[in-house]
């Protein structure tokens, strides 16, 4: 027998196993005493752990540090620890391959990714971070996303059932603890299969009822603490019992050989799960004992189960004491008492609204008259508006429904009782709320203000609802009810309101009408009728067209309004409505006569947004009518700014904090237009680019060798340069690529290819089908493409021909001979084309006044040398302090003199090209509005 098994002392076993830790042997210990295991020696035993336990413990320590850093938002610490965790996991690869990825590791990866995504979306929190944390957040987010790709299946399974994953983790930890403490356990499995330790851990059967109750009470109290503390508390009981029972069973341990202590024990695979189930059963039993104890104590009235938090008020507070005579004065006094709490800290706003409803019912039951009822209704609606103290917050659906119902009820009372006078100028002292035959009711308040606030709340609700959800559609259905309330108020104020109030309510009605296309009026104008009998009857029963309503309301405001703002908004809405329904000349004339473009930059931002929307709609209307130059001029400033989305109030662009702080961002969000009023930005850009193409391509062909050629549209040229820089030209996909491809085809005079790029199934679905008169717009586009392609062809290839037949041109571009004759005649008159028409033979005879390519290059060299001489002389004059010579020479013509044989330049100087010949409204206020608030 080896010396290892002969002596069972800890010191000898440790000397033989390792030379690092040496425990001195106490002198005088006998062989018998060395076999005995005291409690002190058991505590100081060396723990033998497997490689798996060591690696997993290292991972767990890193995870704990990361979670602590997450709690305090220390991203730099998180990044550092995560990198160390990844290295430690890489070292544990062999163990992980055998055992599988540990659940606590998967859990951390999932939680950390969710945590980082949440921080990334929190813009306010990111702004408050310091530079190191913000940089670490960005780096860690990229790393975790890349790292988690290797664990996608494990993370997905964890997210499907996070509770089971957490339980497995706890069970694994318990299993590790049991395997790690195998050297500590001194119990053995007997013949009957029950271990000594399990036997010792059993509770004694005879437990008093009092101790049961105390334990259950303790267990119920511990529910508020964390789950880890609960498990620790549950483990205390068995450990203390075990320590007491071990001392009595020491004699059995003396006779056992110590070899059994170090042998591995065959544990059941389901032991951890059984242990977990036992813990859950114990908790349930304790809760059951507590409920039984509660039921036994109920007759004595000692115990009562109460809910946490503020105690609920079971009975409604009584409005008036018993026997109080309910009259107007008492109700008004009670109303003032309720209103005194309005706005104070700690006031329950919902309870206040409920009290006002109860007071209204009491006034109605006691027949105190409609005057007091109207006053209470005013205060109920005001309290509903005050329910959300935050200005940016919107009303909840239930409060919104209550608000609409209350306003309807108030209008019902006002329509039924003509003897009620309401107004803001009525003082509270002069109110008459009591029933009197001589005097009518006089109530202080303004129903128009309530309806205006209701309209603003409706706009806020639409702004804060996801436009692609069903909820937005449901909320939009309430617009019919809102418009109905405004119409009822309109008819009420037309009889009893002042001119100023009528103008205000008319503007509210206009704002709900101007952006809607009237399809029924459009069908009637085309001579079409409804498809079914019901549709025809509905059209006959309906009242005026929207154009007639807009005309009547706007003209009243033009004549009666004294404030510039209401009149300006009415004019812009009227122009928008004309443009939307393709009434181009009325819209254009109204814009030019109003002179709004001169001072619109001084208006407030919402009016400027309305102006921008009107100009855009005017440009789209001009495009539909074939007025390409007018359409381009109207859209130029909005599109060239690169901020069309922001200028139209349809969203905010990402900017630096220096340009716009958080408060300004909130204000601008409140100015946004609801989604159902948006103008399609892709359609807008397409209209602008196609207009620019039809103007720019012929102009570029006419001035190909002109060094001083000016761009009509910078954005269009930018798109052309982007297309040219592409190394591989494939078939066009986006709308911009289609326009660029069409432009290249038009440059070559190939109108059919250009037409196929502009009008096809993809472009139809994206753009052209969105117009009301789709077919007419397509036909107009084909016609314009043919005409401009003809002009481009003549400009490009005129130097090749001596003469060309108009019949040939007519066949090439599929145009009538009269149209070809008209286009060429205009080009000759404007001196854009140096040619003459031979009428008998129907041919165009070209004049050889065009410079050759060598002459063009010589001209460009001469111009550049001239500008160089001018710059040198200017510098010389500035040094000498003499300014006359340079400017006098410039006035005489000098180096700026044009050559007589430059193609079309004299005609261009006379006419001013496309840039100099602009209309009145094109260079007005909306050009300058980029320098203002918007």
- What is d(CA 606, CA 456) in angstroms, rounded to the nearest whole number? 13
- What is d(CA 141, CA 122) in angstroms, rounded to the nearest whole number? 14
pLDDT of residue 530: 53
- Band (pLDDT 50/70/90 cuts) for residue 50 is confident
- Band (pLDDT 50/70/90 cuts) for residue 620 is very high
pLDDT of residue 728: 80
- What is d(CA 674, CA 463) in angstroms, rounded to the nearest whole number? 5
Average pLDDT score over the chain: 76
- Rounded to the nearest 10 degrees, the angle between the axes of helix 397-416 and helix 447-463 is 160
Mean pLDDT, range 782-800, rounded to an integer: 91
What digits encode the pLDDT tens for the residues 446-456?
A: 999 999 999 99
pLDDT of residue 340: 84
Helix segments in 249-326, DSSP class H: 250-255, 259-262, 271-297
pLDDT over 70 percentage in the chain:
69
Please say whether the structural domain 680-846 has been given the CATH code 1.10.10.10.
Answer: yes
pLDDT of residue 125: 82
- What is d(CA 593, CA 921) in angstroms, rounded to the nearest whole number? 10
The residue behind tokens 């159902």 is 676
Residue 264: is its pLDDT beyond 90? no
Calculate ∠ Cα 811-812-814, nearest 5°.
Answer: 60
pLDDT of residue 307: 52
- Give the phi and the psi of residue 567 in degrees, each rounded to 5: -65, -40
- Band (pLDDT 50/70/90 cuts) for residue 884 is very low
Distance of CA 747 to the CA centre of its chain: 42
Number of H helices and E strands in the chain, helices first, is 48, 5
Residue 605: is its pLDDT beyond 60? yes
pLDDT over 90 percentage in the chain:
31
What are the extents of the domains in the chain? 52-160, 328-497, 680-846
- Band (pLDDT 50/70/90 cuts) for residue 647 is very high
Instruction: Say if pTM beats, i.e. exceeds, 0.85.
Output: no
- Counting Cβ atoms within 10 Å, is residue 724 exposed (0-12), middle (13-18) or buried (19+)? exposed
- Band (pLDDT 50/70/90 cuts) for residue 444 is confident
Residue 480: is its pLDDT beyond 70? yes
3-state helix, strand, coil in the chain (%, to 5): 65, 0, 30
- Band (pLDDT 50/70/90 cuts) for residue 162 is confident
- What is d(CA 801, CA 848) in angstroms, rounded to the nearest whole number? 10
pLDDT of residue 248: 41
- What is d(CA 449, CA 601) in angstroms, rounded to the nearest whole number? 28
Of the listed ranges 435-444, 555-564, 570-579, the least confidently predicted one is 435-444
Mean pLDDT, range 731-751, rounded to an integer: 91
Residue 420: is its pLDDT beyond 60? yes
The residue behind tokens 């199934």 is 761
What digits encode the pLDDT tens for the residues 898-924?
A: 443 344 434 434 444 344 334 444 434
Selection from 506, 641, 577, 680 nearest residue 934 by Cα: 641
Mean pLDDT, range 583-595, rounded to an integer: 93
Residue 671: is its pLDDT beyond 50? yes
* Strand ranges across the sheet with 835-838: 803-805, 843-846, 835-838
Residue 539: is its pLDDT beyond 80? no
Under a CB-based contact definition with an 8 Å cutoff, are residues 335 and 357 in contact? no
Under a CB-based contact definition with an 8 Å cutoff, are residues 617 and 576 in contact? yes
- What is d(CA 586, CA 594) in angstroms, rounded to the nearest whole number? 12
Question: Residue 251 half-sphere exposure, CB side, CA atoms within 13 Å?
Answer: 1
pLDDT of residue 326: 82
More confident residue, 435 or 888: 435
- What is d(CA 799, CA 851) in angstroms, rounded to the nearest whole number? 9
More confident residue, 248 or 757: 757
pLDDT of residue 426: 81
DSSP state of 203: P
More confident residue, 461 or 926: 461
More confident residue, 915 or 849: 849
Between the CA of residue 105 and those of 61, 63, 155, 387, what are the distances in Å? 11, 8, 10, 47
Selection from 698, 700, 767, 756 nearest residue 732 by Cα: 756
pLDDT of residue 856: 82
More confident residue, 223 or 799: 799
The residue behind tokens 């001589």 is 438
What digits encode the pLDDT tens for the residues 65-84?
A: 999 999 888 898 999 999 99
pLDDT of residue 220: 41
Under a CB-based contact definition with an 8 Å cutoff, are residues 362 and 341 in contact? no
Report the greatest alpha carbon distance in the chain. 143
Between the CA of residue 459 and those of 61, 452, 514, 577, 672, what are the distances in Å? 53, 11, 16, 20, 9
Residue 804, beta-bridge partner list: 844
Mean pLDDT, range 782-794, rounded to an integer: 93
Tell me the torsion sign for CA atoms 347, 349, 350, 351: positive
pLDDT of residue 405: 92
Residue 887: is its pLDDT beyond 50? no
The number of beta carbons lying within 10 Å of the beta carbon of residue 353 is 21
């Amino acid at each position: 027998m080896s010396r290892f098994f002969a002596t069972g002392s800890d010191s000898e076993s440790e000397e033989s196993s390792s030379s690092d830790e040496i425990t001195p042997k106490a002198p005088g210990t006998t062989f018998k005493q060395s076999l005995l295991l005291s409690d002190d020696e058991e505590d100081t035993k060396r723990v033998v752990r497997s490689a798996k336990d060591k690696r997993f413990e290292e991972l767990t320590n890193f995870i704990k540090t990361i979670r602590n850093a997450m709690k305090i938002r220390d991203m730099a610490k998180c990044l550092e620890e995560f990198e160390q965790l990844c290295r430690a996991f890489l070292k544990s690869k062999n163990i992980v391959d055998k055992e599988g990825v540990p659940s606590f590791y998967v859990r951390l990866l999932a939680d950390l990714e969710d945590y980082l995504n949440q921080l990334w979306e929190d813009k306010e929190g990111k702004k408050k971070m310091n530079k190191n944390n913000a940089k670490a957040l960005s780096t860690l987010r990229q790393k975790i996303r890349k790292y988690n790709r290797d664990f996608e299946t494990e993370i997905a399974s964890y997210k499907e059932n996070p509770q089971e994953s957490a339980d497995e983790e706890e069970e694994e930890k318990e299993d590790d603890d049991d395997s790690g403490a195998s050297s500590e356990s001194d119990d053995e499995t007997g013949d009957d299969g029950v271990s000594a330790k399990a036997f010792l851990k059993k509770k004694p059967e005879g437990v008093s009822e009092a101790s049961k109750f105390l334990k259950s009470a303790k267990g119920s109290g511990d529910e508020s603490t964390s789950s880890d503390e609960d498990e620790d508390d549950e483990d205390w009981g068995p450990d203390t019992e075990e320590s007491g029972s071990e001392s009595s069973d020491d004699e059995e341990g003396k006779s056992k050989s110590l070899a059994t202590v170090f042998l591995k024990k065959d544990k059941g695979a389901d032991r951890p799960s059984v242990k977990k189930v036992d813990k859950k059963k114990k908790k349930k039993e304790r809760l059951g004992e507590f409920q039984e104890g509660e039921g036994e104590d109920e007759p004595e009235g000692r115990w009562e189960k109460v809910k946490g938090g503020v105690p609920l008020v079971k009975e409604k507070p009584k409005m008036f004491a018993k026997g109080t005579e309910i009259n107007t004065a008492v109700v008004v006094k009670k109303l003032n008492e309720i209103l005194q709490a309005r706005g104070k800290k700690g006031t329950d706003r919902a309870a206040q609204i409920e009290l006002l409803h109860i007071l209204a019912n009491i006034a109605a039951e006691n027949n105190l008259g409609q005057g007091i009822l109207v006053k209470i209704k005013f205060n109920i609606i005001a309290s509903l508006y005050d329910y959300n103290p935050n200005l940016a917050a919107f009303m909840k659906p239930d409060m919104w429904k209550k608000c609409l119902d209350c306003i309807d009820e108030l209008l019902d009372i006002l329509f039924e009782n003509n003897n009620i006078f309401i107004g803001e100028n009525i003082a509270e002292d002069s109110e008459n709320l009591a029933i009197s035959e001589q005097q009518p009711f006089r109530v202080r308040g303004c129903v128009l203000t309530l309806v205006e606030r209701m309209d603003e709340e409706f706009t806020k609700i639409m702004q804060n609802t996801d436009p692609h959800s069903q909820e937005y559609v449901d909320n939009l259905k309430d617009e019919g009810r809102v418009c109905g309330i405004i119409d009822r108020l309109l008819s009420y104020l037309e009889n009893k309101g002042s001119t100023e109030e009528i103008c205000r309510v008319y503007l509210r009605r206009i704002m709900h009408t101007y952006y809607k296309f009237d399809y029924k009026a459009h069908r009637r104008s085309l001579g079409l009728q409804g498809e079914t009998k019901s549709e025809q009857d509905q059209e006959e029963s309906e009242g005026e067209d929207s154009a007639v309503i807009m005309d009547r309301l706007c003209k009243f405001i033009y004549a009666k309004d004294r404030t510039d703002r209401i009149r300006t908004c009415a004019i812009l809405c009227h122009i928008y409505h004309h443009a939307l329904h393709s009434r181009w000349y009325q819209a254009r004339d109204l814009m030019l006569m109003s002179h709004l473009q001169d001072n619109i930059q001084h208006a407030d931002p919402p009016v400027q947004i309305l102006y921008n929307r009107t100009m855009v709609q005017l440009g789209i209307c001009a495009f539909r009518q074939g007025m390409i130059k007018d359409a381009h001029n109207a859209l130029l400033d909005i599109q060239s700014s690169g901020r069309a989305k922001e200028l139209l109030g349809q969203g905010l662009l990402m900017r630096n904090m220096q340009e716009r702080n958080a408060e300004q961002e909130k204000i601008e969000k409140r100015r946004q237009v609801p989604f159902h009023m948006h103008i399609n930005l892709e359609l807008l850009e397409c209209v602008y680019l196609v207009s620019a193409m039809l103007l720019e391509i012929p102009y570029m062909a006419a001035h190909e060798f002109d060094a001083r050629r000016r761009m009509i549209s910078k954005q269009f040229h930018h798109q052309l340069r982007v297309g040219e820089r592409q190394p591989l030209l494939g078939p066009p996909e986006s709308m911009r690529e289609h326009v660029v491809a069409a432009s290249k085809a038009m440059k070559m005079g190939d109108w059919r290819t250009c037409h196929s790029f502009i009008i096809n199934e993809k472009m139809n679905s994206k753009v052209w089908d969105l117009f009301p008169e789709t077919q007419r717009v397509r036909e107009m586009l084909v016609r314009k493409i043919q005409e401009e392609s003809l002009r481009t062809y003549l400009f490009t290839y005129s130097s090749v021909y001596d003469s060309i037949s108009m019949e040939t041109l007519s066949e090439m571009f599929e145009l009538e001979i009269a149209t070809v004759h008209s286009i060429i005649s205009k080009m000759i008159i404007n001196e854009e084309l140096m040619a003459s028409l031979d009428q008998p033979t129907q041919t165009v005879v070209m004049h050889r006044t065009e410079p050759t390519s060598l002459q063009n290059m010589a001209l460009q060299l001469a111009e550049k040398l001239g500008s160089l001489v001018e710059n040198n002389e200017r510098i010389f004059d500035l040094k000498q302090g003499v300014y006359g010579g340079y400017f006098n020479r410039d006035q005489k013509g000098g180096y700026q003199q044009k050559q007589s044989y430059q193609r079309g330049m004299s005609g261009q100087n006379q006419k001013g090209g496309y840039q100099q010949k602009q209309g009145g409204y094109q260079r007005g206020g909306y050009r300058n509005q980029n320098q203002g608030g918007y």
